[in-house]
Every structure is written in C-alpha cells, then in structure tokens.
Amino acid sequence: MAYCHDLTTGSLEPLTRCPELESLTLSGGVPDAVSLEPLTRCPELRYLTLSGGVPDAVLDILSGCPELRYLILGDLQRPAETAFTAAAVTRLVKSCQELWCLRLHCTADTGRAVLTALKEADLGPDSDGQPRIIKLIVPGELYDQLKSQEGDGVRVLKWGK
C-alpha cells in the first residue's frame, strides 16, 4: 500500500515504477502542480482514495485507470470543499468498467446529483456481461435521504455513525 501525504512539490511519476501498486491514498487534495496522469500507467491500481478537494479535471484523468474498482472521494471533515460534479463522476464510472464501489464525502446536494446521474446513465455491463451495479456509499445522514431513491444500477449503502 502506498501513501503520499505531501504532493505540493512532488510527482506521481515514480509510482509507475511500482507495477504491483494496488492501493493509493492521496491526502489533502491534489495540488494543481501535480498530475495524476502517471496513475493511468499503474496497471494494478484497484483502490484509490482522494481526500480533500477533488475537481472534475482530476476525475477526467482517472478515467484512464480501467482496473480501478474502489474509489473514495472527498473530505470527511469538510464535505462542502469537495469540488467534483455529478457529470464528472458519471464519466469516470462509465469509463472505469471494473469500478463497483464509490464512497463519497460530499454535501447532500452533490450526493443526490451523483445518485440521479448514475441512475440515468447507461453504465454498461459488468465483466461477466451482467447489468452493472455501483455501490454508492455515503454518510449515515445522507443515506437516510438517498436510500429510497436508489434504482437500477445503483445501490445506496451507509458508512459511519
């Protein structure tokens, strides 16, 4: 497991020399000076956590990570600072066909928008050719609002208190 806590002046390029890299946590947001493009060249990357602000441009780059299975987005302590949109999340989910679990730290409005967008999107089949189902994991207070709105292709699950 790799942890990068300070990327203010660093590069993710060295991670491409770790072909067995499966899990990565980037804390505190992704500075503009750091490109996530090297992650698209990590063939075994399955689990990714991006805490802090996560703009749409970051999610668009991650669309090139086809083996990604589990993604945690946002800031648990400051969910309002999470900058991604439902459209960017949907593009990412559609392009990463192995992604089955999405855990969000975001505002209620963003959570509702992501759920609605995922339900309306054609997510394509899973690797076995079956209808694809995304597990959307949200905080307890958001779960209470969203559970009744889950639908085809999206299951809402609760985490936390």
- Tens-digit pLDDT string for the chain (161 aa): 444 444 444 678 888 888 789 999 887 766 655 688 888 999 899 999 988 777 888 888 888 888 899 999 886 666 666 678 899 999 999 888 899 999 988 888 888 999 999 999 888 887 788 889 999 999 888 898 899 999 888 999 998 65
CATH number, domain with residue 42: 3.80.10
Which range of residues forms the domain containing residue 132?
A: 2-159
For 53-92, letters b (16+ CB in 10 Å) and e give bbeeebbebbbebeebebbbbbbeeebeebbbebebbbbb
Looking at the 3D structure of the chain, how many domains does it have? 1
pTM for this entry: 0.85
